[in-house]
Each structure stands twice: as C-alpha cells, then as structure tokens.
Structure 1
Amino acid sequence: MSRKTLISAITAALVVGTASTTFAASNPFSDVPADSWAYDAVATLAADGVIDGYPDGTYQGQNTMTRYEMAQIVARAMAKTDIDKADKALVDKLAAEFAEELDNLGVRVADLEKKSDNVKWTGELRYRYYDANHDANPDDDETYNRVMFRLMPQAYIGDTGWTANARINYSLDMGSSNNAGFDATDNDASVDLVYVEGPLFGGTVQAGRLPAFTANGLVFDDRVDGVQYVGGSDTFKTTLIAARYSNDLEEAWENGTDLGGGFLSNSDTTADFYGIQFDYTPNDKVAVNLGYNALTGLDEAIEDVQAGSWGRGQNGYGDDTDAQIWYVGGMLGFNDNLSLNAEYAQNTSADKYDDAWIATLNYKEADVADPGSWGMYVGYADIGTNSVPAPTYDDIAGGQKGIVAGVSYVPAENIIATARYFTGEDNDTQGDNDAEKFFGEIEFFF
C-alpha cells in the first residue's frame, strides 16, 4: 500500500466513521457511491482487511466512531507488513494514541511490531563536550570532545514475550585531554550491553550485561553483569538486582563517563553488587523511592585509596572493603510544569563514611517527540567523597558540592540539545578549592 493511499484511507476512516467487525468486504459498500470523496480510501481499507462493513452490506459512515472501533482499525493496519517507513510512523503514532484501547482489546502493540519485523533497530548519534576545572589541583582539569554513534538492536524470541538486546558503540575523539594517562585521540568500538529481557514470576526479568539505575541516578548508573527483577504495579514497584560490577577507566572515558563521578570511578576494580528498591507513585504529582545497595569485595579499590592514588585530598575510605548504602528520595509536583526533586544517600560502611544529596527545582520537560519543547532545572548538590559509587550526573562529580543548573531544548523531532553547568568547590582540598564544569551535548535519535 502506498503512502498516499494509506494516509488518505486512515484519514477517511477518522472523518467518515467506521463499522462493526461482523462482515468482511473487499468491495465498496452500498452506501458509499463511486463518486464519493471517500470511495477510494474506504475501498482500499476494505480490500486490505483493515475495515469491515455491516451485515447488510453498508458502511454507515455517518455514525460516530468509537475509540475502540478506531483502535481495531489501527491494530489491523499495524499487522500489515507491506507499508513503507513513513506509513509505519503514522500508524505508530495512532497506536500510541489508542494504546489503552488496544490493551483492553487484548491487542499488544509489541506483538504487532514483532509480526512485522523480528529485529528492531534503534540508535543515536551524539556529540558531547565538557570542560572541568579545579583551582586546587589544576592537574585534574580535563576536556572531553567526542562523537559517539550507537546502535541498539532488539530481537524478539519467538512468541515468548522475551527479547534479546544489545548496545554497540563507536566513539570518535575530536581533541580531548585528560590526566589519566589514556590516549585521548583513540577511537574505540565496544559492545557494552548484551542481555535478555522477558516476563517471569509476574514481573520482568533482565539477565546478562544490563543497565542498573538506582536512586534516580544518585547512587548508581552503570552496567553490571547479573540478573535484575522488576515486579509490582505502576503504583508500587519492587526492583531486585544481584550482579558483578567491573569498572574500566579507559572505557568509561571513551563512553563519556566523568572519571570523578563516584568513589569507584578513579580505579579499575570489580565488586559484587546487590540492591533492592521500592518505588511508590500514587499519581503523576508524587513519587517516592527507598532502597539499599551493597558492594562487597572492594579490595583493589580500597588499596588504591589507601595508597593515595585517588587524588584531590581524599583521606581514605578505611579498612572496610564493603559499601553499604541506604537512600531515599522522590518528586513533588506543584503543577503540570513545576516540580521539586530530591535524593539522599549515605554509605554507612566506610570508616570515614559520608553522605550525598541533591535537590533540584525542575520547570517543564524536553520531549524528543515534541519539537519546540524544553525544560530546565536549578539546584544544589553535595556528593560526599566516599558516599556513592557511580552517580549519573553530567554536571557535578563525586567529592564536590555546589550549584547545578541545566536546560534542554528539542529543535526538531528526535533531536535534543542540552547544556549543564556546575559551580562550587572540591571537598577535602587545601587553599582555593573552587571548581566548575560546563557540559554540552546534542543527540540525534533514530
């Protein structure tokens, strides 16, 4: 079916109306004459099995169409395989609009997509730049200037509801500099995620090298090798994870991870990682999370700390080779545009144990599917030196405290530009400990 035919046909279905599903027809209906403006569209949809008529051979286009009747049309259109990319984009938008009705009818959008293409490819082209400066230790200054091309294939495993997922990165340097001894001009290709995902025990299970994200990114945002289970409802959700964590500094640099991001980010190390998190979201204005993360067997990281290799005046983690981190946080929305977000975490295992917290006021939100949308935030954060292992932030780093701010804008669909800024100080340094960082990024999704 050509783009023009499909778009005009579905438009006609929206405007003219629809009929019941009790009688299939491949020819125009008795009440749609050949000289009708909708004749071609209705005839095409009927011939393709997208719409049906009434048992008496009529279409009855004057009747008001229900959302369930339109959802049935969308489901049949999505099941077709001979439509081009532009047509599929149109049908996908209609499927998103009628997702609830499709679900109530027992028609899963994922199932329809699976029938048309067993392997789904998405991806991203990203340019990232940041410049970090430390008055107390200028040798720690760094500049990151790289392009990354990312592919993310997802393959359906039969009719089981399980998928196989991967993430493939190619990173191209454009003039970075760092003090970690890495080749800043190196270009790198890597596969950093490989896992299966599917329904099990009433929830969703991921197994393999998978992404782990806790405390809204304050405690941990990295990849681990293990198993993760998410169960419950949209209102109350429980996440369990058991995995092995391995940190490669050079790979982190090439992927754009700030080397000062957490107490493990300045040392090649491995550890066992365990976690549990509870999320309570009664409505779109309130969200609460509570959780616990443990990392055990941090011998190599601890030896590095005690040897003083972490720099920036850190006084040492202590003799304990475990990290026991408790956290709590949430979101309070004042209206559709304004919300307060906060997270707090404390590592209770380190001899010199420390805490971390962040609070931001967020205004609006940038949505890559909505051109012209934008969002901004401003807040304050204090990421204690030995508090959290791998936070997600692009502005502030571990061992720093100060003001954070940022803005994102969507100039066109699937394109988002982001700028972030931190100004504050490095903890545990002598003399002038001012620090700042500018972060800029533009992402193209496909």
Structure 2
Amino acid sequence: MRNMLELSPPRATSPLGRQNPEPTNYVTGNRTRRDDRRWMMDDGQNPESGRQKNNSSFIPHPSSLILLLFMFCALFLTACARQDRVFKESRFVMDTLCTITVVSPSEKQAGKAIGAGFDSIEILEQRLSFFSSDSEVTAINNAAGSSPVMVSKETFGLIQKAIEVADITYGAFDPSVAPLTELWDFSGQDPEHPVVPGEREIKLALRSVGYKKIKADPSASEVLLEEKGMKIELGGIAKGYAADMAVEAIKARGIKAALVAVAGDIKGFGSKPGNRPWNVGVQNPRTPDAKKPDRTKDIIASLHLNGEAVSTSGDYQRFFIKDGKRYHHILDPETGYPAAAGVISVSVIAPDGYMADGLSTGIFILGREKGIKLLESMGLDGIIVDADRKVHITKNLRGKINIEEAD
C-alpha cells in the first residue's frame, strides 16, 4: 500500500495518512454490543464470616473493578475499530491521474481493495495502449488488412462495447478514428506553432476510418480490421471501462462503498460515513467570472452518484488556437475535423462507465438536440453546455440538481 490517505474518523492519525481536517459527526449506529454474561453477586451472605452484609453499602472487590474497566475499554476500542472510515489513494495511470476512494472499517481491507482497483486499471492499460509496442491494440493495428488477432476477454469485451456505442450514436463515436488522431497529433503539437492538417491529408486519413470494418468474432475472441491502414484507438471509451473494472475489483474485496475517478470518468457506489452521498462536480468548460469570488470556480453542477457513472467530454481538455480559431481533440469521423455541432461540454450519467464515456464523446459530435433526444430515449441523463455557454439538461434532472451558467 502506498500513499493511502485516511480521510474520516477516528480523528487519530493513521500510520498511512492524516486526520480529516473537517469536523466529523458521522453516525454509524450503535456498534457496542451488550455483554451477555451476568455478574454473579452473592445474596448478602458471606460464607466465610457468617455475617450478614449490607447490600446498600456493597463495595466490589478491586479485581472486579479492574475487570469491568478492561471490558469497557475493549468494547470501546472494538466499536471504534468497526467504525467506517474513508481511505484515498491517487496514482498516475492511463496517462492521467486516477484516484480511488473507499469506505471501510479496516485500513488493511481498504489497502487491499485500493490495490486491486489499481491493478485492474494497470492491466487494462497494458492491453489497450495505443502507444505501447506490445499491447493487444497495437497487435490488432499491425495486422490490419491481413489476419485476425486473438485478444484477452477484457480487450475483446471493450471492442464489442465500442462497436455497440458506435451503433447507438449513428457512428458519431467511432473507435477507428486513430488515423485522424495521429494526423492531428494534439498531444504532440507545439503550442506556439500548431499545425492544422491539410484537406488532402484529412481526406486520405478518412479512407481508413469506419467502425463497420472492425470484425469481432466472439467464438474465437479474435478481432480483424478489414483494410490495411486501419487503426483502432479506444481512448474515447477506455477510461470509463477502467472505472467499471476497478469498481468490480473493489467490490470483490468486500467493500460496500467506493468512488473511482479516472480523470473525468467517475463511478461510485454505496455512500460515505453518515449515509452521505458521493458528490461529483461537473467542470466549467470556460474560465469563471472573476467578479464572483465566493462561487465554486470550476463547477457548474453537482451530482450524487450511487451505482452510476459520469463522464465528461469537452473542447477544453486538449486543444490549440490557430489564427484565432480553437481546434479541439474530439474529431468528427465524417468530416475529419474537430466536431462543430455547437457544444463545448457534454456530461453523461449512465449505469456503466464505458457507456457514459462513449456517449459523451458521441453526443459532443451529434450536438445538443440529437444528444438530449438520444439520452432521453435510453432513459439516461446528461448535461450539455452549448457554444453560447447555456446549460441544457435532460428532463429527469430538472429540479434535482443546481445549475450555474458557464459564464
């Protein structure tokens, strides 16, 4: 276990963390059990002296007082040990900061659960990395147009889910846009001298894009890219999937409440001590008004998660400015250019992290009207900020969350 921080009572500092600076008034129920053993007092007759005792002035033997004090201390310490506490750890994985928070009465259990959560994410990173020469995704890309590649059940499952989300979003989310993302190279751009690809280059890259040319054979756990030059890149869905996998690993260790945040892809279940919900903020996609210093600067809305996931896609996450125009990393697989559907941020709440992640990307490309309609048809919720910085929400969220304009 490393750098695990204890965030809740008891107030004493843990060997692995520090005390919560906030006052704690959690109520976890009556943990103290009544001892069922009955203390046998004599009936007032001292068998040794034969004298009658005065019951009203009975003084217990010192050894009895010591035993009672010992039992009281033991019960008190047991109650404290069973009190739920919050433990938190952050690591840099999947090229971003990931934080896992768990609720447990045991520091040891919390450490094992957090470790298992990070292990599951790191395994996924090894298999799904677009940049690693020995990842399963790289093997699929290298074999494009020639032969299928057998992959692990986790990689195969995610590719199936990526195709599912592509179908749902009418191809707006497309895991095969890698030739375009390589061409635009938002991660490697010189911020002082960014380069916009030429129209001819974009058209050439578009020939290798099309998720329907990804063939997944569940009977053999094999994936084939039908045409040479095709490449898949699962960054638009992998972090949400990683949050799903981490949550399952944490639950398998007996944890009843946790929150996993892989950058902007967050999934939570259960509640914090005191039956308090997991509260997640939706980031303001633009600089807040400096004239409102008392306002929470980076948040336009807050959500409570219990068994759900939330994911946000925005044009502020990776972008450059060229000749006064903003070019962001969410590329439209139909045009080859950054999506221009009039939105700057999309947050989706769904039962599964992969679905929230993929839909937030797809809806960013589809736009506000189609996006809201799609979410409501699926019984899901979302928050969309348009180019005029107006906030739009699905019907089911109305009256349930507080919204501030992204001014």
Coarse TM-score class (shorter-chain normalised): under 0.3
Higher helix share: 2
Higher strand share: 1
Task: Return the TM-score normalized by structure 2.
Answer: 0.24
Higher relative contact order (CA 8 A, sep 6+): 2
Task: Return the TM-score normalized by structure 1.
Answer: 0.23
Rg larger in structure? 2
